[in-house]
Amino acid sequence: MNQVAKEVDVILLTKNSAFPCLKECLRSVYANVPVSRLLVVDGGSQDDTLQIVADFPRVVIIEDSKGNRATARQKGINAIETEWHLHVDSDVVLCKEWFSKASLLITPKVGAIWGAAIPMQKHIHNITRAMAKFYRKSIKDLAIQQPSLKRFLTHDTLIRTDALEGIKIPHHLHIWEDQYIGMHLVSKNYQWVMAKDPFCLHYEHERRGFNDFIQSGALAKKVGAYSTQQVLMRVSLAIPKALWVFAFTGDLKASKMQLENYIGLVKGWIGT
C-alpha cells in the first residue's frame, strides 16, 4: 500500500443542501475518511444545512454567499492544509472504506482519484441503466468508460494538494469548475484516476431544465471538454438514445431528459 497522509481536509460546497441526504453524506465521510477538517463553503443557505454540519466535529464554515461553484471551490482549495484533500458533493454517500480503497491506487504519478458515482435519482438512474444496457456494460464500467472525453468530476475525489498549486478557477465557471481542476492537474503531468472502487451513491438533487443544458454546452466549449466531432456525434445520437431510454425503461421523463441533454449541449456549443 502506498503511503498517504493519515488525515485529509475535506471540501464540501453547500447552498440549501439539507435535501436530499446531507446527514447521510456527512456520516459516510466521517465513517470512511480520516477527516482533519471539514471545510464547508456555503453559498448562503437558508434551510437546515448549517445546523446539520454543526453537529459534526472539526468543521470550518467558509462564507461565499455572493459567489458560485467556481468561487466556492477556489476558496475551499485555498484553505487546504493537508498533503491530500477530498472533494465531496453534498448529495453523495461514500462506500465503506472509501479512503482505504482510494489509498491503494496512489502512486507518485497519481494526482487525483475519482470514485465512480452511481446515480440514485429515479430518472437519471433509468437513463444510466438504459445506457449501460445499450453499451453492454455495468453501471460502474459505464461511469468510468469516458477517457476519450477527458471528463473530470468531483463527486468524491481525492486530490494531491500540490497538484493544484497556482490554480485560479475562472469566476464564470459556475459549472464545469471540476473540469478546469482536472485540466490543471493533468497539465502538471499528474494522472487523474477513475476508479470503480471506491465509489459513491449519487442522490442528485438539481432540477435541470433545457436552458441549463444549453448553458452547460456553452461552458463545456469554453473549457474544451469535448471535440467538435464528439459534439456532432451527440447530434446523431440524440433521438436514438432518447427512444432507447423510453423503450428500455418506460420512463418518458428520463427519455426527455436524455434528448434535452444532447440537444442543449449542441445548441450551447454552437451558440458560443
The C-alpha angle 129, 175, 272, rounded to 5 degrees, equals 100
Whole-number pLDDT of residue 176: 92
Check whether residue 61 and residue 173 sit in a common domain.
Answer: yes
- The pLDDT assigned to 146 comes to 59
Q: Does 85 share its domain with 65?
A: yes
Q: Check residue 95 and report its DSSP letter.
A: P
Asked if the structure places residue 97 within a domain, the reply is: yes
On whether both 70 and 137 belong to a single domain, the answer is yes
Claim: this prediction has a pTM higher than 0.75:
yes
Tell me the residue range of the domain where 216 lies: 211-270
Residue with cell 472504506: 97
Q: Are 191 and 111 in contact (CB under 8 A)?
A: yes
State what percent of residues in the chain have pLDDT above 70: 95
pLDDT, residue 150, reads 72
Tens-place pLDDT, residues 67-89? 999 999 999 999 999 999 999 99
* pLDDT, tens digit, 9 for 90 and up, residues 129-186: 999 999 899 988 888 775 445 789 999 999 999 999 999 999 999 999 999 999 999 9
Coil vs helix vs strand at 51 = helix
Select from 202, 221, 239 the last residue of a domain. 202
> Does position 105 have pLDDT exceeding 70, yes or no?
yes
Phi-psi region of 69 (alpha: psi -120 to 50; beta: other; left: phi over 0): alpha
Do 33 and 145 share a structural domain?
Answer: yes
User: Is pLDDT at 220 greater than 70 in this prediction?
Assistant: yes
- Separation of alpha carbons 77 and 201, rounded Å: 24
Asked which of 184, 202, 220 is the last residue of a domain, the reply is: 202
pLDDT 10s digits, 223-235: 888 888 888 888 8
In a domain, 83, yes or no: yes
Same domain for 109 and 175? yes
Q: Are residues 194 and 215 in the same domain?
A: no
Residues sharing a CB contact under 8 Å with residue 74, sequence separation 6 or more, in sequence order: 167, 168, 169
Taking the C-alpha atoms of residue 218 and residue 207, their distance in angstroms, rounded to an integer, is 19
165 and 266, same domain (yes or no): no
Last residue within a domain, chosen from 179, 202, 225: 202
* 21 within domain boundaries: yes
Residues 152 and 248 occupy one common structural domain: no
Mean pLDDT of 233-258: 95
Task: Say whether both 50 and 91 belong to one domain.
Answer: yes
Residues 51 and 151 in one domain: yes
Does residue 3 sit within a domain? no
Number of structural domains, the chain? 2
173 occurs within a structural domain: yes
pLDDT at 226: 83
Pairing of strands 92-94, 191-202: antiparallel
Residues 222 and 187 in one domain: no
Sign of the dihedral through C-alpha 182, 187, 190, 192: positive
Give the chain's mean pLDDT: 92
For residue 2, is it within any domain?
no
Task: Note the pLDDT of residue 147.
Answer: 46
84: domain CATH number is 3.90.550.10
pLDDT at 4: 62
Whether 37 and 136 share a structural domain: yes
